[in-house]
Amino acid sequence: MDSGNSSRIILGIVITFGTFFLGGCGAGLSGTYTNPTGLVTLDLRSGGKASLTMMGENEQCTYDADGKSLTLTCGGNKTVWGIHDDGSLTGPGIVGTLAKRKS
């Protein structure tokens, strides 16, 4: 096997495993999060889909997680949420901290 083919095979393996690893990182966020009053609910689903319910009003959204932050896009508006070590999320403004519901 020449070194050109070896390099391509190794690169293919690295890309394949990297894709599975990175895809699995966001999977840990999937679930339903609520604030202590229950007025705000954020449902994160696989494939970057989400729904945000605030005071009974529901909006379909998308999300992308990167390290310690989650970007939520609802109706063209982007907000950045904090991801904490305990698994909770902090939203902008009065949203506050949302804890993941136990399933």
What residue segments make up the domains of the chain, in order of their start?
A: 30-100
DSSP strands (E only) in the chain:
31-34, 40-44, 49-54, 57-66, 69-74, 77-83, 89-90, 97-100
**pLDDT at res. 5:** 52
Tell me the one-letter amino acid at 97: T
> Of 1.10.150, 3.30.1360, 3.30.2000, 2.40.128, which CATH number belongs to 30-100?
2.40.128
Closest CA to 100 of 27, 43, 37, 22: 43
The per-residue pLDDT for 9 is: 53
Q: Please report which confidence band the pLDDT of residue 2 belongs to, taking 50, 70 and 90 as the band edges.
A: low
Q: What percent of the chain has pLDDT over 70?
A: 73
**Is it the case that residue 24 has pLDDT exceeding 90?**
no
Amino acid at site 60 = Q
Res 60: pLDDT: 98
What average pLDDT score do residues 41-57 get? 96
